[in-house]
Amino acid sequence: MSSQEDRTTHYQEGSLTLPGTVMLGTGVMIGAGIFALTGQMAQMTGVLFPLAFLAAAVIVSFSAYSYIKISNAYPSAGGIGMYLHKAYGNRLPTAFNALLMYFSMVIAQSFLARTFGSYTMQLFGGDDSGRMVPILGVALILAAFLINLLGNRMIQGVASFIGILKIGGILIFGLVGVWIADSISVDFSETGEAGALGNFLGATALGILAFKGFTTITNSGSEVIDPKRNVGRAIVISIAACVVIYTLVGFAVASNLSLAEIIETQDYSLAAAARPALGEYGVWFTVAIAMMATAGGILASVFAVSRMLAMLTEMKLVPHRHFGMPGSIQKHTLVYTVVLGLILTAFFDLSRIAALGIVFYLIMDIAIHWGVLRYLRKDISANIWAPATAILLDLLALGGFVWVKLNTDPFVIGVAVMTMIVIAVSEQIFLKRSPESAQGKQEESHAHHHH
């Protein structure tokens, strides 16, 4: 850490309460997950999609074990960047996987922004020109950027307020939807064109996107009051809350719309499900919640992502240019994050954005568990079976998802692979030239003799 004023990030220790932390977590989780993924999952696996949400919850629960163990041992505001660093040191795996996480989070923001646009346009009878959805998404990201410039208290306040409204609203939607439906029986005999195991695994992988927000909790590590206890607790509470909410909503949608309708309205299936149940007011109500949910999600996500990039910059693991901008590194990383999000939102459609995000996220997740197994197990007193199970389940979901996409939209898998090659090669060149990482290699070789 050099002491030039430009290089510092300003964290406020103990500035986040346990409920505040849970709100940030669920805020990111409930964002796009439930609003846009429901339809895409139904398209992959037919009416089994509520079960795919549950399967995703199981995978994420195994996955959470490693994150909780590491965050209890080393609470930090860098979250995943820091965890990778603890496992792999100043080397390529750290930089590569941290950047995958970074991109998957920026992708999630664009996904949220597009979802916001899709729902908002339901108030105006849809978006025939196809231009309004990206425009609204871009406007939302810019608004989140401005609020993020106002600082921590403001973000926690806005995120908590939106979080409470949103979770209340979604619960009402789920309960009313299930109550009004003629029967809760979801017809499991029609499994869509799919029914195959690969498709179910693919839908499960998408479902993981709806839960992966729990990892943002790790990014607020050192700012949480009593982090060694509360980070883990916040993760468990957030995942549990989401399981209840998603299952409820899944059944509400499945019992109010036919499978064909869910797939047809996949970018705004909750609003569509509200129409038969509650009429136009129901649609307005759902759109209002969706707008709040996606806005809150973007707010919390921009906050966490710019944090992580700032951390990587401080570790000298990514190149950094000021481009003549004033202020701290975190302000700069905020700008990069927003610009990248704007580009994705403007040019990619929802299912493609989600596909990139899930591939990057699962690969990074596997790297975290491998790091725990290989390097950190003794330091953080973790058992072997939880991370090992998590790796297996991740590989299953990733395999199923890639298989489905290769059959339906191979272009996306191509983009994902190319992006990863570019990240790996450019990072390798950057690290070779960077004096810090050469030093890191020497310390590394000493450190790993002790294990």
- Got the DSSP string for 190-234? --TTT-SHHHHHHHHHHHHHHHTTHHHHHHTGGGBSSHHHHHHHH
When mean pLDDT is compared over 34-43, 50-59, 171-180, the highest value belongs to 50-59
Residue found by looking up tokens 């050469």 in the block: 438
DSSP string computed for 231-284: HHHHHHHHHHHHHHHHHHHHHHHHHHS-HHHHHHTGGGHHHHHHHHHHHHHHHH
Residue with more model confidence, 422 or 293: 422
pLDDT of residue 371: 92
Tens digits of residue pLDDT in 128-154: 667 888 888 888 888 888 877 776 666
pLDDT of residue 398: 94
pLDDT at 5 over 60: no
| Residue 46 falls in which region: left (phi positive, over 0), alpha (psi -120 to 50) or beta | left
Token reading at 138: 């871009």
pLDDT of residue 76: 67
| Average pLDDT of the residues in 307-334 | 71
Tens digits of residue pLDDT in 323-346: 656 666 667 777 878 888 888 887
| Average pLDDT of the residues in 180-189 | 57
Residue with more model confidence, 12 or 302: 302
Confidence of residue 188 (pLDDT cuts 50, 70, 90): low
Q: What angle do CA 230, 236, 241 make, to 5 degrees?
A: 120
pLDDT of residue 39: 78
pLDDT of residue 127: 67
Tens digits of residue pLDDT in 8-35: 444 566 677 888 788 777 766 776 567 7
366 three-class SS: helix
Tens digits of residue pLDDT in 236-290: 898 888 888 888 888 888 777 888 888 787 777 777 877 776 777 888 888 888 8
pLDDT at 391 over 90: yes
Domain ranges of the chain: 18-438
pLDDT at 2 over 50: no
| Average pLDDT of the residues in 282-301 | 80
Tens digits of residue pLDDT in 48-97: 888 888 899 999 999 988 888 887 787 765 567 778 888 888 888 988 99
Q: What does the mean pLDDT of the chain come to?
A: 78
pLDDT of residue 78: 58
pLDDT of residue 312: 78
Residues contacting 220, CB < 8 A, separation 6+: 16, 21, 24, 77, 79, 231, 304, 307
In percent, how much of the chain has pLDDT > 90?
12
When mean pLDDT is compared across 3-12, 207-216, 306-315, 357-366, the lowest value belongs to 3-12
pLDDT of residue 352: 81
pLDDT of residue 450: 43
pLDDT of residue 183: 56
pLDDT of residue 257: 80
In percent, how much of the chain has pLDDT > 70?
81
Please, what's the largest Cα pairwise distance for the chain? 67
pLDDT of residue 192: 46
Phi, psi of 183 (to 5 degrees): -155, 150
Task: Compute how many other C-beta atoms are within 10 angstroms of the C-beta atom of residue 9.
Answer: 18
Side chain identity at residue 159, one-letter code: A
pLDDT at 431 over 80: yes
pLDDT of residue 174: 80
Residue with more model confidence, 97 or 164: 97
Q: What is the pTM of this model?
A: 0.81
Confidence of residue 47 (pLDDT cuts 50, 70, 90): confident
pLDDT of residue 318: 78
pLDDT of residue 392: 96
DSSP string computed for 137-179: HHHHHHHHHHHHHT-HHHHHHHHHHHHHHHHHHHHHHHHHHHH
Residue with more model confidence, 434 or 1: 434
Fold that domain 18-438 belongs to in CATH: Amino acid/polyamine transporter I (1.20.1740)
